[in-house]
Amino acid sequence: MAYVRQSEPAHSARSRPSYSGRLVKTPRCSSALERAGIAAFALFCLLAVDAAIRFPGRFDLAVMKIVQRVDHPELGPKLDEFERLTDSSGAVMAWAATLIVFAMRRWWLPVLGCLAIPLGGVVNETVSRVLVQRTRPHLNELRHVSDNFEERSFPSGHVVGAVLLYGYIWYVVGERVRNRVIVWTIRVMAVAVIALTGFDRVWSGAHWPSDVGGGFALGFALLAGLIVASDRIGRTVSDDGAASQGHSLLS
């Protein structure tokens, strides 16, 4: 992905990062991200239609059995601990902590973007409760199944939330942090959380693999839209111009 660095102002951009000194994507990269987001949304729509009209088929069952063959005495307990990071309370705490860090750094446009992330939960709940009535895994031939199989399964809300939050963190640190070691450390951790969330939802029997795939597709589509919107706003609005909006929303 190509980047260009805009010219820096006379005062030091390191003391208080601003959009005039950040790394920004070229229009071509933004267009590519838009196309990728549209493709992800199209994939999500196909998976949603499939989930709405039929019970998970051989592919879902085969993939789930393969994933659940992974076995280690400590795997279950470790995944249970990890799940606290992405369940309802853990996700809210991680989102709030991210919001606070962005505000403390005076990154007001990322603050506004972070405030938009919960809208992804609204989209996810609308799809799972209104449009797709699929239930969670509960077949006897599976090694792990859901304790609440009557709950709606498509798409995986854990995955949608992880992709949105940690994907947005991945984007923001690349735009704002100049130390590349810190940037890539945070990015690797963010990608690990996203990937492990998907694995955990299938291994534990909480979701069918296509539920997780739908969560990745929807999450990426929403994330792409959020990043493109943030990038376009960032080209025309400085942090100083967005500060009043950030203060009013946080007050």
Q: Where are the domains of the chain?
A: 22-250
Q: What is the pTM of this model?
A: 0.80
pLDDT at 29: 64
Report how far residue 86's alpha carbon sits from residue 96's, in angstroms, rounded to the nearest whole number.
Answer: 13
State the average pLDDT for the chain. 82
- Span of 11-25, 96-110, 201-215 with lowest mean pLDDT: 11-25
Contacts of 211 (CB under 8 A, 6+ apart): 51, 134, 153, 154, 155, 156, 201
Query: What is the b/e burial string over 49-84, where b = at least 16 CB atoms within 10 angstroms of the residue's CB?
Result: ebbeeeebeeebbebbeebbeeeeeeeeeeeeebbe
pLDDT average, residue stretch 124-141: 85
Report how far residue 202's alpha carbon sits from residue 222's, in angstroms, rounded to the nearest whole number.
Answer: 22
pLDDT at 237: 67
For 108, the token pair is 């007001």
pLDDT average, residue stretch 7-31: 47
pLDDT at 209: 94
DSSP class of 156: -
Asked if pLDDT for residue 35 goes beyond 60, the answer is yes
pLDDT at 231: 84
Asked if pLDDT for residue 31 goes beyond 60, the answer is yes
Contacts of 61 (CB under 8 A, 6+ apart): 139, 141, 142
Report how far residue 102's alpha carbon sits from residue 138's, in angstroms, rounded to the nearest whole number.
Answer: 41
pLDDT at 77: 87
- Span of 35-49, 66-80, 167-181, 200-214 with lowest mean pLDDT: 66-80
Closest CA to 237 of 34, 18, 24, 28: 18
pLDDT at 99: 95
